[in-house]
Amino acid sequence: MSENVQSVERALDIINTIVAANRSLSVAELSQAMGLAPSTIHRILQTLTVKNYVFQDLQTKRYDIGPEIVDISSALHLRYDLVRRVRPYLQTLVELTGETAHVAQLYGTSAMYLSQVEPLSMVRMFTTPGSIAPLHCSDVGKVFLADLPAARIEEVIRKTGLPARTPHTITQPDALEQELQRVRQDRYALDDEEREMGVRCLSAGILNGAGKVIAAVGVAGPTSRLSRERIPEVSAAVRGMAARCAEELISQPDHAQPVER
């Protein structure tokens, strides 16, 4: 095992030990619980403290879980709650369209898929929860980009570029802005074989009480089945389901906040 990997494991063990104790711990207590030298524990704690994963009470000199862990825990709770409450609507969307339904959130300069529900068809689209998609060439990504201010869109483009994934990928900023204008006007985004040939996807934004996009819900299917002729029908179903999801989440405002890390 490399020294770096061992340090990471020990850091995680320290965090887990504090969590399991459900109270602050001293270096001596951590040393005894983990069977490591106090000097080793202290060195790792220094790094964890700088990164805000733990904090030290200056009076007692004991260590407890820091604000970064609390933030991560809160974000995961909100995501889990969102998935739990939206999943029945994904199932309804599958029944309405016959295609795989998904929900995603903005994650930095990418979109992260949180959950999906598959149809009974032999040909299905698989999007692993936790996987990410580029913003410029995915249906969910365009939903998020269309909701961002111009300066933020420019920042995303500077960081990620507009790489071509297929011959249909939009790779020019002006063309992308025209596409985002259409998304804002029509209230749904389309990935027309832009990320993967033979696959077409449509998504709409789930809005919070302030009218901001907190997630995107949509469907994906093979172009042979999700044809261009079906776009009006499917986009209407997607927009309607996004609105129903928004109503569900707004009913408890604390769970209708955007989560972006």
Predicted confidence at residue 257, as pLDDT, reads 45
Select from 14, 25, 78 the least CA-distant residue to 48: 14
Same domain, 182 and 226: yes
Query: Which residues 6+ apart lie within 8 Å of 189 measured at CB?
Result: 139, 140, 141, 142, 143, 146, 183, 202, 203, 204, 216, 218
Stated pTM of the model: 0.73
Instruction: Measure the CA–CA gap between 140 and 218, rounded to whole angstroms.
Output: 7
Instruction: Measure the CA–CA gap between 47 and 215, rounded to whole angstroms.
Output: 34
Same domain, 37 and 104: no
Same domain, 61 and 81: no
Same domain, 172 and 147: yes
Q: Is residue 261 part of a domain?
A: no
Query: Looking at the 3D structure of the chain, how many domains does it have?
Result: 2
| End-of-domain residue from the set 17, 36, 65 | 65
Same domain, 139 and 230: yes
Predicted confidence at residue 137, as pLDDT, reads 97
Instruction: Measure the CA–CA gap between 68 and 224, rounded to whole angstroms.
Output: 46
Q: Is residue 260 part of a domain?
A: no
Same domain, 183 and 227: yes
Q: Is residue 26 part of a domain?
A: yes
Range of the domain at 142: 73-255
Instruction: Measure the CA–CA gap between 204 and 218, rounded to whole angstroms.
Output: 6
Same domain, 7 and 83: no
- Chain centroid to CA 159: how far? 18
CATH code of 147's domain: 3.30.450.40
E-strand spans in 49-131? Answer: 54-56, 63-65, 100-107, 110-117
Amino acid at residue number 83: V
Q: 10-residue block means of pLDDT along the chain (261 residues)? A: 79 90 92 93 92 89 88 70 90 94 93 88 64 95 97 95 97 97 98 96 95 95 95 97 92 51 41
